[in-house]
């Protein structure tokens, strides 16, 4: 890596994009397109719009064949790399696995992989947008609502996971918060920016996985909107460093998701 990898995109894989549009519109304020984006190719892929006119990510509609092949509702992130094929080879050599081989799309070259503990993510060498060759992604922000604000990895082997991501993606790991008998909540950084944490896999989780926390304007309003729109709260709002609150939920289609914001 020539520089620490940026998480440049987030994607919701779901069998019901219209249902997801209703849910995330009510909870977050997003607008999910009612039709596929023709620029992406022959798949049913829809953009997630923020209130400020930017994109928060995308929605991939899971069809019957995908579901029969083992796909499940899931939020997944895209890590930027300089060379997808070289990154795939390095990940495989260190015990990771390939779920979707390196593929060229109109927006760039991608591959879906898992880390050695089984957590899935994409790697991508993107094609810059027309007219913005030096453009940077703004789908992640530690402070702004309607963006992903925190990336959390729950894993069966935190030590190995930290070693894997620091080696392959140039991230740092400084600082931690004790979680009692569960172990440590270890903070990870991209350069000087805190982007998330690595934690031990908790009882009841299906396996090692990334979870993403979406910024909301008010955590209590979001909590009410989750339950009113068919979601399930899995952990109640908990105060986090800095004075805001975070909660975990499952959306109506079965994807795990987190929300973070103030209580006011």
pLDDT digits (tens, 9 = 90+) for 174-188: 999 998 888 899 999
Q: Where are the alpha helices (DSSP H) in the chain?
A: 17-27, 64-68, 84-93, 158-169, 219-228
Residues contacting residue 69 through CB under 8 Å, at least 6 positions apart? none
pLDDT computed for residue 1 by the predictor: 53
pLDDT tops 70 at residue 142: yes
Share of residues in the chain with pLDDT > 90 (%): 82
pLDDT exceeds cutoff 60 at 122: yes
Could you give the C-alpha distances from 233 to 21, 77, 114, 240, 251, in angstroms and in order? Answer: 18, 22, 27, 17, 9
Average pLDDT, the chain: 93
Confidence of residue 202 (pLDDT cuts 50, 70, 90): confident
pLDDT of residue 132: 55
Judge contact between 151 and 76, C-beta under 8 A. Answer: no
User: What per-residue confidence (pLDDT) applies to 33?
Assistant: 87
Mean pLDDT over residues 35-61, rounded?
A: 88
Mean of pLDDT values over 212-231: 98
> Does residue 42 surpass a pLDDT of 90?
no
């Amino acid at each position: 890596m020539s520089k620490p990898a940026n998480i440049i995109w987030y994607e919701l894989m779901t069998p019901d994009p219209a249902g997801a549009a209703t849910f995330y519109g009510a909870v977050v304020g997003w607008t999910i397109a009612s039709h596929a984006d023709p620029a992406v190719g022959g798949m049913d892929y829809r953009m997630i719009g923020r209130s400020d006119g930017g994109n928060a990510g995308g929605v991939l509609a899971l069809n019957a064949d995908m579901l029969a092949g083992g796909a499940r509702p899931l939020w997944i992130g895209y890590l930027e790399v300089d060379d997808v094929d070289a990154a795939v080879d390095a990940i495989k050599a260190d015990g990771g696995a390939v779920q979707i081989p390196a593929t060229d799309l109109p927006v760039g070259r991608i591959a879906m992989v898992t880390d050695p503990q089984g957590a899935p993510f994409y790697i991508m060498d993107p094609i810059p947008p027309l007219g913005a060759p030096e453009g940077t992604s703004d789908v992640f922000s530690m402070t702004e609502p309607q963006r992903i604000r925190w990336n959390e990895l729950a894993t069966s082997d935190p030590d190995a996971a930290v070693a894997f991501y620091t080696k392959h993606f140039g991230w740092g790991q400084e600082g931690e918060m004790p979680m009692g008998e569960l172990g440590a909540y270890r903070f990870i950084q991209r350069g000087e920016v805190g982007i998330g944490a690595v934690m031990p896999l908790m009882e009841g989780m299906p396996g090692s996985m990334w979870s993403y926390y979406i910024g909301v304007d008010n955590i209590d309003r979001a909590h009410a909107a989750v339950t009113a729109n068919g979601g399930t709260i899995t952990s109640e709002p908990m105060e986090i460093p800095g004075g805001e609150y975070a909660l975990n939920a499952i959306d109506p289609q079965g994807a795990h998701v987190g929300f973070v914001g103030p209580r006011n």
